[in-house]
Amino acid sequence: MKKLGFGFMRLPLLTGGEIDLETLKQMVDLYMAHGFTYFDTSYVYHGGRSEGALRKALTERYPRESYVLATKMPTWDVFKTEDVRRFCEEQLERTGVSYFDNYLMHMLTEKDYERMVRIGAFDEFGKLKAEGKIRRICCSFHDTADILDRILDEQPDIEWVQILLNYADMQAEDLTVREAYETIVRHGRKVIVMEPVKGGELVGVPEEIRELFRKADPAMSEASWAIRSMASLPGVEVVLSGMSTLEQVRDNISYMEDFKPLTAEEQEMMVRAGKVFFGEPPINYRNAEIVNPAVKTFLALMNNRLVFTVPHGWQDAMYESYVTRAGKPADLLKAEMDPVVIDGLKQAIASYEHT
């Protein structure tokens, strides 16, 4: 299977906000014509319209064996065992298929994981697999690496794990993005990469990074470096791209159809590029006196939001989950003395607890 996956989270839209099905069909046709096969959607993408659009653009137009289909159950709305089957069967109907290749628990955090265990969701996933309705039990993950390590220890039936992974966040202190990737590989599971271009924020990069890329290969786009660097990592089965235009499909095809992993020198360049974003973070707590090491994760999440100004749902999910085991930042703040730490925690509280 070719490593470029088609993510159905950022589809082309018409002026009124409806999904542009005709353009989407052209995008799917172009993608398939070049031998790519992996499609990824979710119960909630595009306000719940993504799975229906996938049915119109893909499953009603191509034989089932010609593509690999992944979708995600809305884990946050699953509170009893029968919900697992209800969502799966509804999603099979919405997408117009008889089985999913990958069926994922969406945005798994420690809190949601413990509820899934409590209600017997993993047993129900096993039954759906035995019935042929799903082929692989998977999850997408939005928490710290230690929690992922625990989940994979306790759930040997999870086969593929989808995580946020890009060359910038891998260099962010205390976010454990790199550690999460390494945890999956260490457990012998397959990695699905989401947000390799960080929602488009790794296009239009600082001049320092642009110059690195130009010297390495001026013909390659900024997105290509982001996607190819993740596809080059051991254990990565597929890298998702949320393509919104035909031009984005063409660009991705140009360097992923005959994919060649980055050289060791190019991989080192990507490490340098990632460090540009977090080399001097807005909240620079490296030399600060920190009383409780747990505050580092809150500060790292705030730095991520300050460096990349468009909020991301994974940041909020990780924050809310981490609070349950580290304590509320407002309480942690009382013991801290360093002004950098105090100011950083206040920023995190204001940003992440705005509701």
pTM, two decimals, is 0.95
pLDDT band at 234 (very low <50, low <70, confident <90, very high): very high
Is the domain of 220 the same as that of 335? no
Is the domain of 81 the same as that of 181? yes
Contact 191/165 with Cβ under 8 angstroms? Answer: yes
Angle in degrees, CA 248, 249, 251, rounded to 5? 65
Residue 97 counted as domain residue: yes
Q: pLDDT for 85-131, tens place per residue?
A: 999 999 999 999 999 999 999 999 999 999 999 999 999 999 999 99
Given 209, 243, 265, the domain boundary residue is 265
- Cα distance between residue 195 and residue 312, in whole Å: 10
Is the domain of 221 the same as that of 130? yes
Which pLDDT score, from 0 to 100, does residue 29 have?
98
What amino acid occupies position 174?
Answer: D
Is the domain of 225 the same as that of 121? yes
Q: pLDDT for 58-78, tens place per residue?
A: 999 999 999 999 999 999 999
Residue 289 counted as domain residue: no
Is the domain of 71 the same as that of 218? yes
Given 214, 246, 265, the domain boundary residue is 265
Is the domain of 205 the same as that of 304? no
Which pLDDT score, from 0 to 100, does residue 87 have?
98
The answer, yes or no, to whether residue 355 has pLDDT greater than 70, is no
Is the domain of 172 the same as that of 25? yes
Residue 77 counted as domain residue: yes
Given 265, 283, 314, the domain boundary residue is 265
The answer, yes or no, to whether residue 294 has pLDDT greater than 80, is yes
Residue 271 counted as domain residue: no
Which pLDDT score, from 0 to 100, does residue 314 have?
87
Angle in degrees, CA 289, 291, 296, rounded to 5? 80
- Cα distance between residue 122 and residue 139, in whole Å: 11
Is the domain of 66 the same as that of 207? yes
Q: pLDDT for 139-186, tens place per residue?
A: 999 999 999 999 999 999 999 999 999 999 999 989 999 999 999 999
pLDDT band at 325 (very low <50, low <70, confident <90, very high): very high
Is the domain of 146 the same as that of 200? yes
Residue whose C-alpha is closest to residue 70's, from 190, 225, 197: 190
pLDDT band at 312 (very low <50, low <70, confident <90, very high): confident
Contacts of 273 (CB under 8 A, 6+ apart): 167, 168, 205, 209, 212, 213, 225
Is the domain of 249 the same as that of 320? no
Tell me which range, 32-36, 280-284, 319-323, is most confidently predicted by mean pLDDT: 32-36
Residue 300 counted as domain residue: yes
> Considering its fold, how many domains does the chain have in total?
2
Q: pLDDT for 238-267, tens place per residue?
A: 999 999 999 999 999 999 999 999 999 999
pLDDT band at 309 (very low <50, low <70, confident <90, very high): confident
Q: Which element (helix H / strand E) includes 192?
A: strand 190-194
Q: pLDDT for 181-230, tens place per residue?
A: 999 999 999 999 999 999 899 999 999 999 999 999 999 999 999 999 99
CATH number, domain with residue 90: 3.20.20.100
Residue 279 counted as domain residue: no
Residue 247 counted as domain residue: yes
Is the domain of 45 the same as that of 157? yes
What amino acid occupies position 62?
Answer: Y
Which pLDDT score, from 0 to 100, does residue 173 have?
80
Is the domain of 312 the same as that of 198? no
Residue 224 counted as domain residue: yes
- Cα distance between residue 64 and residue 51, in whole Å: 15
Residue 321: domain span: 295-352
